[in-house]
Structure 1
Amino acid sequence: MRPRLPWGIRLQQFVADPQPVMPILAQLFNDHEVYVQKSVANNLNDISKDHSQLVIDFCQQHWHESKTGDWVIQRGLRTLFKQGQTAVLQLLGYQPAAATQLTTAKLTVLQAAAQLETVSELSYRLQATDIKKALPLYLGYRVHYVRQNGQTSAKDFFIKRINLKPGQPFEGQFKIKWQQLTTRKLYAGKHLVALLVNTEPVADQIIDLEL
């Protein structure tokens, strides 16, 4: 039933109108089998690419129905979340404008150049002095990979979820492995790396990849 099954034929009738699928997803929503949970989530994510409001309405209706269901919803909303959809951020407990409340947002890189089969280490520091209560943050980073034609293609990665306490700085690190993959080929050039707070870029650094 997945409209955009990666290794199958795209089901154009459900791409155009996923309504016949929704009652089935609702019936399977709280299934105890993990593979079924993942399938429901992936189906919701597929549908969200063409009918975002339909999926948002479905998830709002079933939010906090069960712990398993909440996991399915979070996975099913991943594309809309990365797009920074306000309703999705709010549903999952994140303020869309959280980045504007930060008084400090720094990203540093240990070495500005990198080679294939090496690892770049980056550190970040966040602080919000004017908030009155802890600020829920979804931290990630975005790599603008250089393509063969010189253009770039962005890919987002998850770091962690935190509650940023008023006035207290939060520091952390993450690493980027520069290796060729079957799904992504690396090319030499300046790669922009941005720190994301609730899907919004707040600081960035450039890493020059040499082949």
Structure 2
Amino acid sequence: MQRPLKDQLFNLDKVTMIATRLRQAKASFRPEDFIDEVMDRLGDLELKQRITWISEVLERHLPDDYRPAVGALLRSLPAPCDPALSDGDFGDFIYAPYSEFVARRGCTDTDLAYSLDALKQITTRFSAEDAIRTFINAYPDHTMNTLIEWTRDKHYHVRRLCSEGTRPRLPWSRRLSVPASAAIPILDNLFDDRTRFVTRSVANHLNDIAKSDPDLVVETLHRWRTTGRQEPREMNYIIRHATRTLVKTGHRDTLGLLGIDPDRRVTVTDLTIPPTVHLGAALDISITVHAAETSEAIIDYAVHFAGPPGRPGGRKVYKLRRLTVPAGHSVTLAKTHPLRAGMSTRTIHAGEHAIEVLVNGTPRAKRSFQVIQP
């Protein structure tokens, strides 16, 4: 049985590794005492709590003076992630407490520039995307101007931090006090990046903005595409990935951006699912669409989930396919959707569920089915 993610990322071996490196960087550091204190509580904590806990223990085992303490952390770091890679080498989660330490202790007038430089170094070993948000909220102008400068850094982890750290809805992270539009100058410098690790973050960032300001997202993507600065294939990837939420809602200007006429009528002539499926099995879905005239269409489907007893369930939209439906023809699509018990992202409950077909974000057909215990 696979260990929980929190135990894979934060465990005795990892804690011993950083303790050993810190002892090499700071002669007065006592690795055994540090390891004992960290491990005394680590097993009782969830993932993010472990990051905070290790940073708190670091405070008690490093010098009281902030800069000497951070100096020891920086000297203990391994070599940066390979800057020549074209996609994500995420680094090692065990260094997340280092950036948390900087955010806890160094977000002050006196240490602002020193702390930001420390985060720049740490982020090339593991992303400081959460910690940088403390500085954005406390010193928005200085920090955002610094991130604009970093968008041209030679290391792709630094460039990605500029986008990822300023996302309005970054998962598991503190909220930002600056408006979503404040990061557009940063994204303007990053959308033409040649590293997918960076452009994926840019697209995710725009998808965050789309939930509060769809028009800004569409306008920005139109503007970027007309510059010709990004390769067409990668520009198309950014547009598709950045507009995935807007497509699911049938946003008309977004459909136009994607080359789809929202007024073309594509109908669902058949939606076939079994009436029952066992929990832990998979649901076979068959969808047939028809068009009177040749039409481009994005076909998605939503699952309406049963909730636990006495509570409502949820709804989640899943991507299926973009296709061309020839005039007067029908196209049938098939999909197998897993309903595994104990999924990490959602608990599947027995009871009435439903499948809903979306054509260009508009609901077109819906069928119910029962999930039953095997």
Asked whether the two chains share a fold, i.e. TM above 0.5, the reply is yes
Runs ≥4 residues deviating over 4 A:
none
SS at match of 1:152: coil
Q: With CA pairs under 8 Å and 6+ residues apart, which has the higher RCO, 1 or 2?
A: 1
1:176 corresponds to: 337
2:94 corresponds to: none
CA–CA distance in 2 between the matches of 1:18 and 1:125?
40
1:113 corresponds to: 276
2:170 corresponds to: 5
SS at match of 1:19: helix
SS at match of 2:261: coil
1:72-93 deviation line (CA, Å, top 9, x unaligned): 1221111122111111111112
CA–CA distance in 1 between the matches of 2:208 and 2:302?
22
Same amino acid, percent of matched pairs: 29
For the 8 Å contact 1:95–1:198, the answer to whether it is kept is no
Once the two structures are superposed, the pairs formed by residues 1-211 of structure 1 within 5 Å of their partners are: 1-13=166-178, 17-63=179-225, 65=228, 66-98=232-264, 100-102=265-267, 105-109=269-273, 111-128=274-291, 130-131=292-293, 134-148=294-308, 149-179=310-340, 180-211=342-373
CA–CA distance in 2 between the matches of 1:94 and 1:28?
27
CA–CA distance in 2 between the matches of 1:47 and 1:69?
18
SS at match of 1:75: helix
Note closer, same or farther for the CA distance 1:81–1:101 as it changes in structure 2 (3 Å cut): closer
Unmatched runs of 5 consecutive residues or more in structure 2: 1-165
Give 2:171's aligned amino acid: P
State the 1:34 CA deviation.
Answer: 0.8
1:20-63 deviation line (CA, Å, top 9, x unaligned): 31111011101110110111111111122222221121012123
CA–CA distance in 2 between the matches of 1:160 and 1:116?
26
State the 1:170 CA deviation.
Answer: 0.9
TM-score by length of 1: 0.88
CA–CA distance in 2 between the matches of 1:151 and 1:208?
15
For the 8 Å contact 1:42–1:75, the answer to whether it is kept is yes
For the 8 Å contact 1:105–1:202, the answer to whether it is kept is no
For the 8 Å contact 1:144–1:153, the answer to whether it is kept is yes
Larger radius of gyration: 2
Greater fraction strand: 1
CA–CA distance in 2 between the matches of 1:11 and 1:157?
29
Give 2:168's aligned amino acid: P
State the 1:208 CA deviation.
Answer: 0.3
State the 1:161 CA deviation.
Answer: 1.2
Give 1:189's aligned amino acid: G
TM-score by length of 2: 0.51
CA-based RMSD of the aligned residues comes to: 1.7
What is the number of equivalent residue pairs in this alignment? 202
Greater fraction helix: 2
Give 1:95's aligned amino acid: D
